[in-house]
Amino acid sequence: MILQNVPLEYCHSNILPSLIQNIGSFSFDCRKEISLIYAILLRRKIGTREPTIDYLNKNPHIIHLLCDGYNQPEAAVFVGSMLRESLKHESLASILLDYKNFFSFFKYVQMQNFDIASDAFSNFRVN
């Protein structure tokens, strides 16, 4: 994998929360790239370790930021994609289920904007 030898600076610099919080202010292509990088980081393994999963488990507020990202219409589809990637990991899914705003998903699936509503609903179908 390309990122095999990249140091874990993204963990030490807290760049993931900053990117997620400000994703709506980036261009469309940049939002796409951020969600792609996030997915790549989630799949990254060093031996048997999954450093990004470990980092997210220690920093559950990042998963919470993804959930709350549906409040930004211009970023909702991208944070939804990132959240779906996260939900493929049981430990990260449990963080979302324990989140006090988890039930806001039921509000998101009923939004007037079809793209946001269908994206939010698709998180319930993640394997």
Q: What is the pLDDT of residue 28?
A: 95
Tell me how many domains the chain contains: 1
Residue 100 has pLDDT above 70, yes or no: yes
pTM beyond 0.85, yes or no = no
Helices 90-98 and 61-68, interaxial angle, to 10°?
Answer: 70
- In order of 21, 59, 85, the CA distances from 127 in angstroms are 26, 23, 10
User: Domain range spanning residue 3?
Assistant: 1-123
Residue 60 has pLDDT above 90, yes or no: yes
64-98 pLDDT, tens per residue? 999 888 888 889 899 999 999 998 999 998 998 88
* pLDDT class of 8 with cuts at 50, 70, 90: low
Q: Residue 38's domain is classified under what CATH number?
A: 1.25.10.10
